[in-house]
Amino acid sequence: DIQMTQSPSTLSASVGDRVTITCRASQSISSWLAWYQQKPGKAPKLLIYKASSLESGVPSRFSGSGSGTEFTLTISSLQPDDFATYYCQQYNSYSRTFGGGTKVEIK
Amino acid sequence: EVQLVESGGGLVKPGGSLRLSCAASGFTFSSYSMNWVRQAPGKGLEWVSSISSSSSYIYYADSVKGRFTISRDNAKNSLYLQMNSLRAEDTAVYYCARDQMATNYFDYWGQGTLVTVSS
């Protein structure tokens, strides 16, 4: 199975900060990567698919980049609603796998 | 509006069985592959199983292979997960999730149903 490693596991930031989360795959997954946001007690929400495509309705401050084995999720200006946990997910193979998650906390 | 509503969770003893259901509405259910994804308390997300639109292709995570069975009834717009030989490590919130058409990422999720395996 393809392993996904996210870093950092926790991130402390302030409103207005630029935030970057990294996701690394154990082998090349081309651009078959999605990002999700999850708030406590809620289901995950799709933010980005195919590494850099923004899901409809998602604010443009979210962006994704990368290909192969290295990917990033960037929030250009952190808003109060963005404090949550973020997961990457590869879908290069039928056995999809998630990263361990990055919790974005208020500094 | 796409809606996915899970049911069937609860408390079960180790070695026991449980059947989860997911009722879908707001889209043509028979056209989409569907999935189960779980999340243990305080932990990350784990894909469990997938089933194609016509049930022709079915996949499982190694952690549940041989114990769980995914199925669907397109006439009833419903997805199921039969869970047998349950273990403490199967304790989790189980989410039903839809695949975006012809891809393998999850564009809609249900609210989840909690399964607790404990004696």
Condensed to tens digits (0 to 9), the pLDDT of residues A41-65 reads 999 999 999 999 999 999 999 999 9
Burial class (CB in 10 A: 0-12, 13-18, 19+), B65: exposed
Mean pLDDT, chain A, integer: 96
**Is the model's pLDDT at B15 over the cut of 90?**
yes
Indicate the SS3 state at residue B76.
helix
Beta strands A10-13; B18-25: pairing state: unpaired
In this complex, the residue of B104, B109, B112 whose CB is nearest that of residue A91 is B104
Over the stretch B58-78, which tens digit does the pLDDT of each residue have? 999 999 999 999 999 999 999
- Closest-CA distance, B43 to chain A, in angstroms, reads 8
Instruction: Check residue B103 and give its pLDDT.
Output: 84
Burial class (CB in 10 A: 0-12, 13-18, 19+), B45: buried
Over the stretch A25-37, which tens digit does the pLDDT of each residue have? 999 999 999 999 9
- A46, A1 Cβ separation under 8 angstroms: no
Closest CA to A44 of B96, B83, B50, B28: B96
- A57, A48 Cβ separation under 8 angstroms: no
Instruction: Check residue A20 and give its pLDDT.
Output: 98
**Is the CB of residue B111 less than 8 Å away from at least one CB of chain A?**
yes
Over the stretch B48-59, which tens digit does the pLDDT of each residue have? 999 999 999 999
Instruction: Check residue A93 and give its pLDDT.
Output: 86
Is B45 in contact with A94 (Cβ distance < 8 A)?
no
- B32, B101 Cβ separation under 8 angstroms: yes
Instruction: Check residue B102 and give its pLDDT.
Output: 79
- How far apart are alpha carbons B87 and B90 in whole angstroms? 5
Calculate what percentage of chain A has a pLDDT beyond 70.
100
Is A1 in contact with B107 (Cβ distance < 8 A)?
no
**Is the model's pLDDT at B104 over the cut of 90?**
no
Is A43 in contact with B111 (Cβ distance < 8 A)?
yes
**Is the model's pLDDT at B101 over the cut of 90?**
no
Closest CA to A46 of A87, A13, A14, A18: A87
Give the mean pLDDT of A69-75. Answer: 98
Is B106 in contact with A89 (Cβ distance < 8 A)?
yes
Calculate what percentage of chain A has a pLDDT beyond 90.
94
Calculate what percentage of chain B has a pLDDT beyond 70.
100
- Closest-CA distance, A98 to chain B, in angstroms, reads 6
Is A46 in contact with B105 (Cβ distance < 8 A)?
yes
Closest CA to A71 of A94, A56, A93, A87: A87
Give the mean pLDDT of A60-83. Answer: 97
DSSP 8-state code for residue A14: -
Q: What does chain B come to in residues?
A: 119
**Is the CB of residue B32 less than 8 Å away from at least one CB of chain A?**
no
